[in-house]
Amino acid sequence: MLPITFTDTDLQGVDQEQDDPMVMTIAVENFTVKKVLIYQGSLVDILHWATYQKLQVSIEAMIPYDERFYGFSSERVCTRKYIDLHAIFYEGQ
């Protein structure tokens, strides 16, 4: 999968010291998912269960994973499973 990149023309009128999060609309597994938070300071990507169900991806596609990570308020969070999903980021509405 190709990385998302930005060129110098994208920086026009933008404060280069900012690394604010972005909210985007993306296509995941052929479904449009709106209001996706892109935050480069995060080590995990979270998909709410209701959104996962709407994608109609089989629960058997999930892979067991029992590692812990630190949550948004520094609390330890247990994980159960993960999944790799095909996502497409594109320009336009």
Is residue 47 situated within a structural domain?
yes
Other residues' Cβ atoms within 10 Å of the Cβ of residue 67: 7
Please write the tens of the pLDDT for every residue from 72-85: 677 887 888 888 88
Please write the tens of the pLDDT for every residue from 8-17: 776 666 566 6
* Residue 55: domain span: 19-88
Is residue 10 situated within a structural domain?
no
Structural domain count of the chain: 1
Is residue 8 situated within a structural domain?
no
Is residue 3 situated within a structural domain?
no
**What is the value of pTM for the model shown?**
0.55
Is residue 14 situated within a structural domain?
no
